[in-house]
Amino acid sequence: MSILKTTIFSRHCIGPDKIHGGLLVMLPAMIALDLLAKFKIERILTEVGTSISIFPSFNLTLGHNRGVSFGILNSAHWITPYLLSSFAIVLVVFALRWASRQSSKLIQAAGIIFAAGGLANAIDRLGDGAVTDYLDFGWQATRWPTFNLADVFIFVGVALLLLGWRSGAAKPNSDQ
């Protein structure tokens, strides 16, 4: 734990002294929310069937993605979940480190939201070798690939990052 603490949470990387207010508290809360939603929805869908119609263009449909976005790099090989999760964790650490060095709360929030999604999917993937997907949108036969709350977090984090970058908010802290 001391290596993790000195490497990730040191004064030179990320930590409460670099990320404003309660933003850092959002990270474990969002991860827990996603993992709990996946657990509950998977349990319900396993009992009642693989899909529940919520309204005409939205279903809860159980899916397991062994690859990344849209099934890219889909593989049943035993090492794939470890490689994909390791890559996700490295990406999250770099994103958090970069976001923590920015003076903008928007950019820092974007980094936390992105990290929560990436870590939640990595944890889920390490559990059984696949990411549990359940959000299914579309109209009649035209459906978007199923996704989950962590994917929404990743999308929102990237969108906020782009919004902050576009507005000129992405500026390093003055003490860097």
Is 133 among the catalytic positions? yes
What is the number of other CB atoms lying within 10 angstroms of the CB of residue 19? Answer: 23
Of 67, 65, 66, 45, the C-alpha closest to 54 is 45
64 bridge partner residues: 132
Q: Name the pairing type of β-strands 51-55 and 131-139.
A: unpaired
Per annotation, catalytic residue among 128, 133, 136, 175: 133
Per annotation, catalytic residue among 34, 124, 136, 151: 151
15 bridge partner residues: none
Token pair in block for residue 146: 């199923």
What is the number of other CB atoms lying within 10 angstroms of the CB of residue 143? Answer: 13
Residue 138 Cα distances to 7, 33, 55, 135, 150, angstroms:
44, 24, 11, 10, 19
Catalytic residues: 133, 151
